[in-house]
Chain A
Amino acid sequence: MSMIDNVQNLAREWLDSKEVDAIFGLKEQDGYIAPYLFTDVGELSCLVISNQYRLCYTCRPAKENILSLMLQTEPNAKIGVVVRGCEERALIELAKRGQVDLKRIKILGVACSKEDAEECRCEKPYPGNLVLGEKVEGVSGDENVNALLSKSLPERRAFWKHEFSKCIKCYGCRNVCPMCICKDCKMEQELYTETGWLPPGIPMFHFIRFYHISDRCIGCGECEKACPVDIPLLTIFKLLQKDVKDLFDYEAGMDVEQEEPLLTTLDETPMREEVMDVGV
């Protein structure tokens, strides 16, 4: 039986046994794929998994994303969510920031194929909560990362000057990132981003996202895929993921209990109270 049959069968089981009230996943209709809330078992034959469309997309904007809207309108419902590795990591990081309530979600974690992992340059192509499928090894090492590291400082400047000059300031990278959840974005503030100019400030504009997402990037690669001018944004995020691990022994999306390092003191006491009050 193929992977997707297994997913559909399990979803059917969960719905039939009332373990969950609905299944959130991707639906294919007339050749198009979109997120969908399945409540009728009859429709489950249209449930698909796709690396072209991720549930990550549906994680923002804060409190207005599909998942949290559903959880708000149906306050007692429990929802099963079909997730791949990156999507599960996104849910965990979002839960830490009060964006979704994991207690009301049942995770149907599926493993990605070797081909998918390679296409996404994914280092961990399976969820921690693996329900269906076989784990395959993620890719190790990254060509773009190695290429950047082998460059001298002036070469790196020239490289990024070339890349960032292409930016058309479409905000695609930010809009698609499951971790960019702020309503007020510094990338839109006059202080940091002059309006009326293209390309936006080099490296100011992109630095904002590199820094803000540094300790929470789950490495899904959506930003880079979304970029219409192919700026290799993931290169720096991959490096930062490693830095955050080395510096703070922290990996985004792994443990819902572990506080993000930029919001803890040096002895890891959370400073959460202060931040949870501001505009999320």
Chain B
Amino acid sequence: MDKKGFEPKILAFCCNWCAYAGADLAGVSRMQYPPNIRIIRVMCSGRVEPELVVKALSLGTDGVLVLGCHIGDCHYISGNHRTVKRMAILERILGYLGIDPARVKLEWVSAAEGARFAQVVSDFTSKIKELGPIPLQELRP
């Protein structure tokens, strides 16, 4: 696929309490952001096991965002602490396997940060456009 006309598929895991509400706010405030994103709502960013991210990438998702509450604001107090640590390990493993770790990103978006949500999605989408389609298919024998 040529990179120019490339429209990436991007998955965003949004936590129920902050990021999803942030996305909602961006929506009702009619903020513009790229339509490449598909949102999956989870109760907490700590629910996002790295296997889910790898599964999404294996199925042809070009990039995965994990969005949660800012540290200290987690509805479950320390759920997002897990996410930070897991994502760090996930990124390293992806790198060793030859997958650009920039294809996954953890960001904090509060329920009041609709504009920030739109910004994060726009930035990430342009980054993934730059990287091109996920080369994981070539890992399929």
Contact = CB atoms under 8 A, between A and B. Distances in A.
Interface of A: 148, 151, 153-161, 164-165, 186, 191-192, 199, 201-204, 207-208, 210-211, 214-215, 235-236, 239-240, 243-244, 247-248, 261-262, 264-266, 269, 271
B89 A214 contact: yes
B139 A161 contact: yes
Interface string B62-96: 00000000010000001001101110111011011
A6 to B, nearest CB: 41
A16 to B, nearest CB: 48
A211 B51 contact: yes
B1 interface: no
B92 A240 contact: yes
A81 to B, nearest CB: 31
Contacts of A159: 98
Question: What are the nearest 10 A-B pairs in CB distance?
Answer: A156-B98, A157-B98, A265-B81, A265-B78, A165-B141, A202-B139, A153-B98, A266-B81, A243-B92, A207-B54
Contact of A236 (B88, B90, B96): B96
Nearest to A148: B96
Contacts of B78: 265-266, 269, 271
Contacts of A210: 93
B86 A262 contact: yes
Interface of B is mostly: helix
Contacts of B95: 153
Contacts of B92: 239-240, 243
A189 to B, nearest CB: 9
Interface residues of B, number: 28
Given A157-B135, A160-B139, A191-B55, A262 B85 contact: yes
A240 B89 contact: yes
A240 to B, nearest CB: 7
Interface of A is mostly: helix
Nearest to B78: A265
A153 B93 contact: no
B58 interface: yes
B50 interface: yes
Contact of A239 (B90, B96, B98, B138): B96
B112 interface: no
B87 to A, nearest CB: 11
A248 B85 CA distance: 9
B96 A211 contact: no
Contact of A156 (B81, B96, B141): B96
Contact of B141 (A161, A236, A243): A161
Given A160-B139, A204-B58, A153 B99 contact: yes
29 contacts: A151-B98, A153-B98, A154-B135, A156-B97, A156-B98, A160-B139, A161-B141, A164-B139, A165-B141, A186-B51, A192-B55, A201-B58, A202-B140, A203-B58, A203-B97, A203-B99, A203-B139, A204-B51, A204-B58, A208-B51, A211-B90, A215-B89, A236-B93, A239-B92, A240-B89, A243-B89, A247-B89, A262-B82, A266-B81
Nearest to B72: A266
Given A239-B96, A240-B93, A271 B82 contact: yes
B100 interface: yes
Contacts of B81: 264-266
A262 B141 contact: no
